[in-house]
Structure 1
């Protein structure tokens, strides 16, 4: 097996890195030589991610941050630069899901929570990250985590979540065009159902999800977090040097 080191000497910031896709992305960057800053609202799972990276011989730093607070995401960017000397890659993965209700039954609090974290959080993170990256001769690369549900999939009972993720995809394209001249490449990955608790519908078991996926996706299964991480690393790497403003769908063919 070929061992790749596409990110040796670079620093990557990953939000929502305490579990699921975010943790898998952080581990993948570290395995390819990056210094990794992991950010999230709860310290304990972040420390677990750091421990996994360090036990594998990598370097990592945990920063507690709420992406919906501008000061928190700026602090995470500053910590990356102060601790490792630069910010070369950022992955905006932090997100929440509040589903299972029609729009008329959705609590207003759930609407605002999803909007604040999924969309405003992506905006605040992009703003802070681009401001730093454009000062560096090497620029940088940013990958936002959107969702296939926000662009191509029917979305009964999850209209608010779908709206925020569709907005992240559009935000990605606009920001990419705004800042490619600054040397910052911005793209998105849109996963379909992934092997995490977030992909379970209300009251659904893992066995029920597996049965649903056998008919929902041509691949016949949910994607793994490692498969999503591989897509993220590709877009963040020099392999994708001419890829700008794209939204890479990883969903087993569900939206093909």
Structure 2
């Protein structure tokens, strides 16, 4: 069983807790943390982990090393969730190296970086939109395609990037 989790390097939050023996967690966060919400299931229950990253290769390498130190299988792959071909390649690699995905946790986000709306460029808005909206869609779509080819089942968790109000600037 495989678990695919796409987690933000900026948020520092994870979605890889609780995988059963033989499951795999694919974590876009890059940095390794153990315990509830931070991939503790890799240590506690024997799951493997596919570590994905966008720019934090050093953090992803450290996570891979720590997972392998636990005698678990680890896959590391760069992915740009804004690009559907990049997401498709990720799922193909997970399928090939770790088996079919059973769980998808969508938790990556870009956010506006606190820029006032009046100062946000169209290019910046497009980047945020492709990361925060298209990225989860591309991941869900690939997950469902792989689940359909594998058989029934699977779970998708979509986690929003924030729920606190922001004042208009």
Tell me which of 43, 49, 56 is aligned to 1:36: 49
**Structure 2 unmatched runs, 5+:** 1-16
After TM superposition, the score normalised by the length of structure 2 is 0.75
Instruction: Give 1:79 deviation, angstroms.
Output: 0.7
Q: Is the CA contact (8 Å cut-off) linking 1:93 and 1:144 kept in structure 2? A: yes
Cα shift at 1:157: 5.0
Counterpart among 143, 159, 164 of residue 145 in structure 1: 159
1:116-136, Cα deviation, whole Å (9 max, x unpaired): 111111111111111101232
Residue 126 of structure 1 corresponds to 140
Q: 2:61 maps to which residue?
A: 47
Q: Deviations over 1:38-61 (max 9, x none)?
A: 112133221111112112332211
Q: What residue number does 1:155 align with?
A: 166
Give runs of aligned pairs for residues 212-231 of structure 1, distance below 5 A: none
What do you get for the CA RMSD once the two structures are aligned? Answer: 2.7
Report the TM-score when normalising by structure 1: 0.52
Q: Which ranges of structure 1 fall in alignment gaps of 5 or more residues?
A: 159-256
Query: What SS does the aligned partner of 2:149 have?
Result: coil
In the alignment, which residue of structure 2 is the partner of 1:19?
31
Larger fraction in helix: 1
Partner of 1:110: 124
Find the aligned partners of 1:129 and 1:19 in 2 and give their Cα distance. Answer: 23
Alignment match, 2:23: 10
Question: Is the contact made by 2:82 and 2:131 (CA closer than 8 Å) also made in structure 1?
Answer: yes
- What is the aligned partner in structure 1 of residue 10 from structure 2? none
Q: Is the 8 A contact 2:32 2:39 kept in 1?
A: no
1:69 equivalent in structure 2:
83
- State how far apart, in whole Å, the 2-side matches of 1:63 and 1:92 are: 16
Work out which of the residue numbers 87, 90, 95 in structure 2 matches 1:81.
Answer: 95
Q: Which has the higher relative contact order, 1 or 2, with Cα contacts under 8 A spaced 6 or more apart?
A: 2
SS at match of 1:135: helix
Provide the C-alpha distance between the structure 2 equivalents of 1:127 and 1:96, rounded to a whole number of angstroms: 20
